[in-house]
A and B are shown apart, each in its own frame.
Chain A
Amino acid sequence: MGAKWFGASVQRKEDPALLTGRGRFVDDIKLPGMLHVMVLRSPHPHAGIRGIDKTRALALPGVHAVVTHADLPESMRRQTVPLLVPNPAIKQVYMPYCLARDEVCFAGEPIALVVADSRYIAEDAAALVDIDFEPLPAIADCADALAPGAPLAHRDATSNLGAHIPLNVGNVDAAFAGAAHVFREQIFQHRGGPFFMECRGMIAAPDPATESLTIYVSSQGPHRHKRVLLDLLDWADHQLRIVTPDVGGGFGPKGSFYAEYGALAAAAMQLRRPLKWIEDRQENFLSTQQERDQYWDVEIATDADARILGIRGKLVHDSGAYMPWGVVLPWIAATTVPGPYVIPSFKLDVLCAFTNKVPTSPVRGAGRPEAVVVMERLVDRVARELGLDRAEVRRRNFIQPAQMPYKVGIIFRDGRPVTYDSGDYPVCQQGALAAVGYEQFKARQAAARREGRYIGLGFGNAVEATGLGPYESATARVATSGKITVYTGATPQGQSHKTTLAQIAADQFGCTPDDVTIVTGDTAATGLGVGSFAARTAVNAGSSVHLASKEAAQKIRQFAAAMMEVAEGDIELENGFAKVAGSDLKRSFREVAAKAVGMPGFSMAGGPLPGLEATSHFTPDQSTYSNGTHVAEVEVDIETGQVTILRYLVMHDCGHVINPMVVEGQVVGGVIHGVGNAFFERMVYDGDAQPVSTHFGDYLLPLATDSPNVEVLHMETPSPLNPLGLKGAGEGGTIPAIATLMSAVENALEPFGVRIAEAPITPQRIVELLGEAAKGRTK
């Protein structure tokens, strides 16, 4: 059967409800008897807790409880939130308790839950909780944290070193010793937070009759949350159901299990009432995980023809106060550096430091944007020093398609060697540069300079690991009504899974996507699930939905063939019917499903297994690699430092595309995240790790007036690693963007010799770097 829906820009099934205000986000859910919670958080970046006095708070009318660590069940008091991704490189593990026990290590760490009739009253009461703090020295900067004598982020730690990952491929010292050229770059990169529009939130609804809990949580995967909570509560599988309804953006940090989730679950069981906690934006700034500072000190060695012989250096990564994702984030950053280039030797010492700031975890791009900045800045440097064209230096170093599958030599964070499966990097770059008229740019730039205008062009290449394992679940089921439901552990936060996965299923069932309902993010619907993050859903859930639907469709044929006494191969599925080709014989799905569930008392032995359903957990062998080239043209006003993006183009390859409209939306949205990281987003802390930017007036996100139109061009190099040839598309818009924009600004300011080695790069900083030249016409 041909694929009718795969590859079509089908309009979204999610839209009608969302457009008419009938979405169902966690805060939209109201349960009888529900109480409201405020999380009381540490105002100090580092402090001991000597005592908590709840008396005044409890006296306020409408207050039901103030829950602290001492009130938690024993199973939560004796262990911290489990680390789901341990790694031998981790030297000291620090994870939080569900409520702080006797030490808080970042401003915003949860200390108590205040439960009241309304959030308004809970906030009134929170101000009345008296906590006796012992302020402790705090460490703000991750590089300073590793210096001898630095204040300890955790008072009982031996140092602030959380992990040391030594990566070593080939013989880097020999390469550098024999190199014609060696260049060094020191790059500081500050990322930021996800800043989804819907803040985090959770409802814990106990059923005292069955000693069980139903949880609604805005997440990127309820199955992982269930796993952690079962540990923390020491419960059996049937006692916990976690559902994720509509989610207003995730971008990574909604995938983590946060301490307050455990506390809320425990409090609900104790109070025997549904409890709702909705994060407000101030809490979001303080306690939702972010991606933050990295200091890179790297060298590149090349031969006389600009061919890269090796890269070596050091990365210091800020883990924040805890390590919710272990070392996944810096590991991804480090192993993404080689990108699309042949790097014969590579040595990177990765040091993860604890600081007294909110913990870091993957945010859209997940460390890869930082890696691309490093690689692309190094390549630009080689080009500049050797007087070569930037595109030419890259051409000389590309991995060629004939070399696929290509072993980079490093082990990725999924435990597998980094092996690029497919991709044509030279064609991708060539296509992108041709589309922007790269060859003509120098002349345009010269003409602009004569008019006193400073335009620049930058570009960057990236290869990104997508479709990470271990698996995703899908159960396709045709009910006795004949209607089709596919359950999956995929958990969308805007990625249109309910439409794209329906497209895949519809192709197997011979119906339209409207005839298939995709049910996501419910631990009662599928026993196993992983969730949606790291651009993994198309590959994992897409493949599982495909395989499960295919198998269920096959069962329809099996039963229908037996019912109509024809061969299975003669059956076609079309619009809810199993039809015999070239005849009028048919049975509806409804009839076939009724047959498949059997009749009470009648035997089904010897026939197909009961039920028109099938389950698949597609388990990829390794990641599959998307790639892209971004090009940006900017103009810099040298008097104010303002940067205007004149043009932005992406040549993107994510293999076969389920829904082109959806992929384009992902790419464009991702680019704008990159624009934010490149120019606007700065979480400012003072020297004692106290957050200073804690609202949207100080922390800037790109507005419609800051966002360029993004032209997206597609290439398709299918993945050989899954049945549909898919690769991930969720992060490709962000990953090369920061490098591209830094390169464009530097190119614009070339006449002034300004080098850009930091992100974000702000107008103020550009003016500082320009010095006297910034006076411009006012000289």
Chain B
Amino acid sequence: MKPPPFVYHDPATVAEAVDLMSRLDNALPLAGGQSLMPMLNFRVVAPDHLIDLNRIAALSGIEIAGGLGHFGAMTRQRDLEFSPDVARAFPIMQEALSHVGHRQTRNRGTFGGSLCHLDPSAELLNMTALHDGTLTATSKSGERKIASTEWVQGVMTNALAPGEMLTGIELRAWPAGHGFAFEEFARRHGDFAIAAIGCLVILDAAGAIEKAALCVSGLGPGPVRLAGAEKLLAGQKPSHELFRAAAVEAEALEAMDDAFVTAAYRKHLARVLTYRALERAVAARRAAA
């Protein structure tokens, strides 16, 4: 299980990187390496060129201002995990990150790398969709913004065009004090989620749900916002019937079927976890109020 031979490049700037990407055939970018290196070791990919992005300091960074969070694509998961700014503006993210792999993988793994690799159950994918994220793709010809709703083109296939690389992610923060809950089911700690639900809520003064966001991941190739449930919940007092209705909508989503996990089980989990996420997010908000 040794990597196949390649020519190694380690550009110091984004400009150098996109120049390499435009010139070289069969080139792959190397971000945190926690997904790509196993693929290289298994020889399921055989790039002629490897473009190591780890020396590009400009690609890392967390900046939260004006209700928006700007993240460089190479920002380590570890840095997201330990950032007090992220904890304040995107509290659900730290809860989600506690499910992402293990200490050692979060130390190297990156925000952008996870989004580009596009494992269907990636927690950061869920976070991006949940917060109406916008992704910035850069190529030799300049920058392009891609809405998170456009990011997933198919199973493990992102919306980057040849010669493009992901350079930044922008998330919309929710108002301070919002309720949140991330519910995930995985076989073991740190395993890929079989199903995961991200939930954000704001309650009004009367205790009704003013706004809710629900994002399901792990069922299909990409995360899905439960648009119907979000509409249904708006203006309603939290109740078992309401949570159940959202849960039923989650269960109705299309789901993948493979040798290890059935579609039926994924859908069932989506139902159960949606209910739990709503219940917990609302309770958290009530407790905080």
Docked-complex contact B271 and A778, CB < 8 angstroms:
yes
Stretch of A475-483, A539-547, A693-701 at the chain-chain interface = A693-701
Residues of B close to A706: CB separation below 8 A: 188-189
A697 touches B185 (CB 8 A): no
- Are A119 and B244 in contact (CB-based, < 8 A)? no
Minimum C-beta distance from A512 to chain B (A): 40
| A238, CB-defined interface residue at 8 Å | no
Main secondary structure of the interface of B (DSSP, over half): loop
In the bound complex, what is the Cα–Cα distance between A639 and B269 (angstroms)? 8
Taking the complex as formed, is A692 at the interface, i.e. its CB lies under 8 A from any CB of chain B? yes
Within 8 A of A (CB), among B246-267: 247, 259-262, 264-265
Kindly report which residue of chain A lies nearest to residue B273, judged by CB atoms. A640
Q: With the chains together, A93 CA to B244 CA distance in Å? A: 60
Contact A640 B185 (CB under 8 A): yes
Q: Does A417 sit at the interface, judged by CB under 8 A?
A: no
**Segment with Cβ contacts to B, from A161-169, A252-260, A713-721, A769-777:** A769-777
Interface residue? A344 (CB, 8 A)? no
Residue on A nearest B1 in the bound complex, by CB = A280
Q: Is A763 an interface residue (CB 8 A)?
A: yes
CB-CB nearest in chain B for A282: B1
List B contacts of A120 (CB < 8 A).
2-3, 5
Partner of A123, one of B43, B262, B268: B43
- Interface residue B182 (Cβ < 8 Å from any Cβ of A): no
- Say yes or no: is A1 at the interface (Cβ < 8 Å to chain B): no
Closest partner residue, chain A, to B5 (CB atom): A124
Given known contacts A692-B259, A698-B260, A705 and B188 CB-to-CB distance under 8 angstroms: yes
Chain A residue with Cβ nearest B243 = A778
Are A281 and B1 closer than 8 Å at their CB atoms?
A: yes
Q: Would you call B169 an interface residue if the criterion is a C-beta within 8 Å of the partner chain's C-beta atoms?
A: no
**Is A693's CB under 8 angstroms from B260's CB?**
yes
Closest A-chain residue to B4, C-beta based? Answer: A124
Residues of chain B within 8 A (CB-CB) of A775 are 268, 271-272
**Quick check: A764 and B262 within 8 Å, CB to CB?**
yes
Assess whether A594 is interfacial by the CB under 8 Å rule.
no
Cβ distance A127 to chain B, nearest Cβ, rounded Å: 8
A684 within 8 Å of B (CB atoms): yes
Chain A, interface residues (CB within 8 Å), range: 35 or more
Q: Whole-angstrom distance between the alpha carbons of A686 and B258 in the complex?
A: 11
Contact residues in B for A642 (Cβ distance below 8 Å):
185
A762 to B43, CA, bound (A): 31
Report whether B272 and A640 are in contact in the complex, using a CB–CB cutoff of 8 Å.
yes
The yes or no answer to A236 lying at the interface (CB within 8 A) is: no
Does A703 sit within 8 A of B, measured CB to CB?
A: yes
Contact assessment for A697 and B269 in the assembled complex, using a CB-CB cutoff below 8 Å: no
Quick one: closest A residue to B102, CB to CB? A703
Cβ of A700 and Cβ of B43 under 8 Å apart? no
CA distance A119 to B1 in the complex (A): 9
Whether B188 pairs with A700 at a CB distance below 8 angstroms is yes
Question: Contacts A123-B2, A693-B260 known; A777 to B275 CB distance under 8 Å?
Answer: yes
Question: Is A778 a contact partner of B275 (Cβ separation < 8 A)?
Answer: yes
| Mask: chain A, 638-673; 1 = CB below 8 Å from B; 0 = not | 011010000000000000000000000000000000
B192 within 8 A of A: yes
Binary CB contact string for chain B from 1 to 20 against chain A (1 if under 8 A, 0 otherwise): 11111000000000000000
Do B261 and A764 touch (CB < 8 A)?
yes
Bound CA–CA A767/B42 (angstroms): 34
B192 touches A697 (CB 8 A): yes
Q: Closest residue to A280 on the B side, CB-wise?
A: B1
* A559 CA / B259 CA spacing, docked (Å): 71
Tell me, yes or no, whether B187 is within 8 Å of chain A by CB: yes
- Min CB distance A766 to B, Å, is 10
> Chain B residues near A762 (CB, 8 Å)?
187
Among B10-68, those with CB < 8 Å from A are: 42-43
Contact A684–B259 (Cβ < 8 Å): yes
> A120 CA to B192 CA in the complex, in Å?
30
Q: Tell me if A680 counts as interface (CB < 8 A to partner B).
A: yes
A-side contacts of B269, CB under 8 Å: 640
Cβ contacts under 8 Å, B265 to chain A: 764, 767-768
Query: Closest approach, in angstroms, between the C-beta of B258 and any C-beta of chain A?
Result: 9
Q: Which residue of chain B is the closest to A701 with respect to CB atoms?
A: B188
Complex CA distance for A746 and B188, rounded to whole angstroms: 21
Determine the distance from Cα of A767 to Cα of B268 in the docked complex, in whole angstroms.
9
A639 x B192 contact (CB < 8 A): no
A residues less than 8 Å from B189 (CB atoms): 703, 705-706
Set of chain A residues within 8 Å of B244, measured between Cβ atoms:
778-779
For residue B262, which residues in chain A have a CB less than 8 angstroms away from its CB?
A: 764
Residues of chain A within 8 A (CB-CB) of B4 are 123-124
Residues of chain B lying within 8 A (CB to CB) of residue A693: 259-260
Taking CB as reference atom, which chain B residue is nearest A118? B2
Contacts of A124 in B (CB 8 A): 4-5
Q: Is the CB of A686 within 8 A of B259?
A: yes
Whether B1 lies near A703 (C-beta < 8 A) is: no
Complex: chain A residue closest to B250, CB-CB? A778
B227 to chain A, nearest CB (A): 20
Tell me which residues across on chain B come within 8 A of A702, comparing CB atoms. 188
Q: Which B residues are CB-close (under 8 A) to A680?
A: 187-188
Residue in B closest to A699 when the chains form the complex, CB atoms: B260
Please name all residues of chain A whose beta carbon is closer than 8 Å to the beta carbon of B5 when the two chains form the complex.
120, 124
- B239 nearest CB across to chain A (Å): 13
Please, which residues of chain B bring their CB within 8 A of the CB of A692? 259
| Bound-state Cα–Cα, A739 to B257, Å | 30
Distance of B46 from chain A, by nearest CB (Å): 9
Residue-wise, chain B 153-194 has the 8 Å CB interface mask toward A (1 for contact) of 000000000000000000000000000000001011111100
How distant is B190 from chain A, measured CB to nearest CB, in Å? 8
**Shortest Cβ distance from B199 into chain A, in angstroms?**
15
Q: How far is the CB of A45 from chain B (nearest CB, A)?
A: 15
Separation in Å of the B265 CB from the closest CB of chain A?
4
Sorted from nearest, which 8 A-B pairs have the closest CB atoms? Answer: A705-B189, A280-B1, A639-B272, A120-B2, A764-B265, A778-B275, A778-B247, A692-B259
> Can you name 22 A-B residue pairings with CB atoms under 8 Å?
A123-B2, A123-B43, A282-B42, A640-B185, A640-B272, A684-B259, A684-B260, A692-B259, A693-B259, A693-B260, A700-B187, A703-B189, A705-B189, A762-B187, A764-B262, A767-B265, A767-B268, A774-B268, A777-B275, A778-B243, A778-B244, A778-B272
- 16 new A-B pairs (CB below 8 Å) besides A775-B268, A778-B275? A282-B42, A682-B260, A684-B259, A686-B259, A695-B42, A700-B188, A702-B188, A703-B188, A703-B189, A706-B188, A706-B189, A763-B187, A764-B261, A778-B247, A778-B271, A778-B272
